[in-house]
Amino acid sequence: MRRAIFAVVVTAVGLVLLLSFKPHDLAVAEPPSANAGPWAGDGASLGDDTGTVVDGDVTTTRWGPVQVRIVLSAGKLTGVQVLQAPAGTSMDVAINDRALPILDREALTAQSARIDTVSGATYTSDGYVRSLQSALDRAGL
């Protein structure tokens, strides 16, 4: 009986201490946007902006639309800009801030849409590749 009472008292004290704990700094999240619009994260790098500019198709992914714009000079891919990317939640933005620059670099290195999917950004990567391929097709490459 004493052990049961001791266990209940210790549990109650622990619960009170846990509930009275206050963090030093409260994180305030921005409200999510209602829809995805032009991407303004780190992935919006056009690189060399002289040459032929071609927009890819808007591809729909599970988390939102993805669209890229490419720049071609002398038949080579010289720039990629993300026009739309999923941005409905702060998690979407964080994922895209990491993944889109990687996808941009890989596209410029590969000079094609044959690029690897970025781990953790599978849907965005798939939409990016499909939009990139449509832009390359439109440009005749």
* Nearest-angstrom CA–CA distance, 38 and 57: 14
The reported pLDDT for the residue numbered 49 is 56
The reported pLDDT for the residue numbered 141 is 81
- Dihedral pair phi/psi, residue 3, rounded to 5°: -65, -40
Domain ranges of the chain: 52-138
The reported pLDDT for the residue numbered 42 is 44
The reported pLDDT for the residue numbered 43 is 44
The reported pLDDT for the residue numbered 16 is 78
The reported pLDDT for the residue numbered 4 is 86
pLDDT of the chain, 141 residues: tens digit per residue:
888 898 889 898 887 777 776 665 544 444 444 344 444 444 445 555 568 999 999 999 999 999 999 999 998 999 999 999 999 899 999 999 999 999 999 999 999 999 999 999 999 999 999 999 999 999 988
Domain 52-138 has CATH 3.90.1010.20: yes
